[in-house]
Amino acid sequence: MTTSVPVGLSHEEVLRYSRHLILPEVGPQGQRRLKQARVVLIGAGGLGSPAALYLAAAGVGTIGLVDFDVVDSSNLQRQVIHGTASVGRSKLDSATARIRDLNPHVHVETFETRLTSANALEILEGFDVVADGTDNFPTRYLVNDACVLLRKPNAYGSIFRFEGQASVFHAQEGPCYRCLFPEPPPPGLVPSCAEGGVLGVLPAVIGSLQALEAIKCILGVGESLIGRLLLFDALRLQFRELSLQKDPACPVCGANPTVTELVDYEAFCGVGSEPVAVGPEVSAPELAHEIREGVDVVLLDVREPHEWGICNIDGAMLLPLGTLPETIGAFDDRANIVTYCHKGVRSLRALEILRSAGFGNVRSLRGGIDAWARAVDPSVPRY
Amino acid sequence: MAVHITLPTVLANLADGDRTLEARGVTLRDAIDDVAGRYPRLAPRLRDDEGQPYPFVTFYLNDHDIRFSGGFDAPLADGDEVTVVPAIAGG
């Protein structure tokens, strides 16, 4: 009797992957390659959600997940691996359960930690392909440098508002992330998705491209995004491709590298070293008490008009941070002013602007309108 | 030379919402100066205080990263397409 079952795949797997098996470019051999492959996702968020789902569905044998966050309601608009029942649960537990339900043949390895210079090489070393879907610059440079040092391909994706970028950085065969962006922007210049927003379906496009590139890399088929940068504009529905060049002077993958081990990426990105705006703050309950007591407080909301439209504090006045230098002339510089924003960062910048313009009695609402909604007025929606 | 400069939406907000700007110049620097003069809020996002490109905003002249082809001194031809690609880190 002859067996028709490809070696290493069970009957159930043959049926499950049948649409792959009949593709000459994949076939039983390619499917076994996928089963033996190990892909690690840095971040189980917007990009990591679709990437993990498609890698699991495709039958990638081992998926590593690195994340340390818990599922929040505000994640569910885009992080489709998590469900409503998982709110408050660790993202890794939630993602693991979903992957196991989708494909029980997949082995999930979880790393419930922030990726750091101390653990990155050890974690990434055991994988064939890395997919970078983090949400901050220090980790992006860390992942890049670790991949260069370990000679691993990095299926890169990044998103902001309505636009995304994708590439494969593999220094053995092409440029790395630092060849494209030698240094990160200073902290605060580029808002995060939490501050600037992101269209929920955008990471579906970019994250699935990362999964696609990882799968092609494992199968050794097609033309990878190595040496190419794909730009996606969701509003115009345009894909653009730009060619990436390897920088001969790149400090990590160039001819004479100066970065030969992982460094302090928080310091490299200026995080923690920038002059953080500080100033007198008032807590939400303290402010509520003052208002109840009849203290004359000028409440300045320094968010953007569309945020004001979501919620605002009764009696406040909208003066977006960017317009403040031109508009503060209308106020009495002896007024008792409290600035507030969403979470209490922009309001500290506003406080600095006001104080340097001669306003002597300014405080910032600690934690912003979010703290106000939690501690004082639950009728104010949180966002 | 008349060229087109394409901005990502995040920078277009500083140019009255225009995603594609027309600009003139013999070199890329001239074209950036032209745009910077018309959109003062955009100017500091395109170049530093000394007029040099930032390491986190990459300019493509047609399909070439200008850091490897003359920087802001790269000569322009009529109809050239300039694409501004800022580093983003959302995930």
The pTM is what?
0.86
Residue B24 has what pLDDT?
A: 97
Residues in chain A closer than 8 A to B47 (CB atoms): none
- When CB atoms are compared, the residue of A198, A240, A243 closest to B90 is A198
B9 touches chain A (CB under 8 A): yes
- When CB atoms are compared, the residue of B9, B56, B90 closest to A183 is B56
Asked if A366 and A341 touch (Cβ cutoff 8 Å), the reply is: no
This complex has an ipTM of 0.95
**Cβ A244–B65 below 8 Å, yes or no?**
yes
Name the maximum alpha-carbon separation found in chain A.
95
Please identify which residue in the block is written with the tokens 């909604």. Answer: A373
Residuewise pLDDT in 10s, chain A (383 residues): 444 445 589 999 999 999 999 999 999 999 999 999 999 999 999 999 999 999 999 999 999 999 999 999 999 999 999 999 999 999 999 999 999 999 999 999 999 999 999 999 999 999 999 999 999 999 999 999 999 999 999 999 999 999 999 999 999 999 999 999 999 998 877 777 777 889 999 999 999 999 999 999 999 999 999 999 999 999 999 999 999 999 999 999 999 999 999 999 998 988 765 445 678 999 999 999 999 999 999 999 999 898 999 999 999 999 999 888 888 888 888 999 999 999 998 899 899 999 999 999 999 999 999 999 999 999 999 99
Residue A326 has what pLDDT?
A: 85
Asked if A283 and A366 touch (Cβ cutoff 8 Å), the reply is: yes
Residue A166's φ and ψ, nearest 5 degrees, are: -145, 145
- Give the residue from A106, A117, A14, A120 showing the smallest Cα distance to A63: A106
For A44, A202, B17, the CA distances from A198, given in Å and listed in that order, are 16, 7, 18
> Looking at chain A from residue 35 to 74, which residues have their Cβ under 8 Å from any Cβ of chain B?
43, 45-48
Catalytic residues of A: 193, 341
Q: Nearest 5°: CA angle at B40, between A238 and B47? A: 70
B10 touches chain A (CB under 8 A): yes
Residue A195 has what pLDDT?
A: 74
Asked if B28 and B34 touch (Cβ cutoff 8 Å), the reply is: no
Residue A72 has what pLDDT?
A: 96
Q: At what angle do helices A284-292 and A368-375 cross, to 10 degrees?
A: 70
CA distance A40 to A124: 7
> Looking at chain B from residue 42 to 61, which residues have their Cβ under 8 Å from any Cβ of chain A?
54-58, 60
Amino acid at A6: P
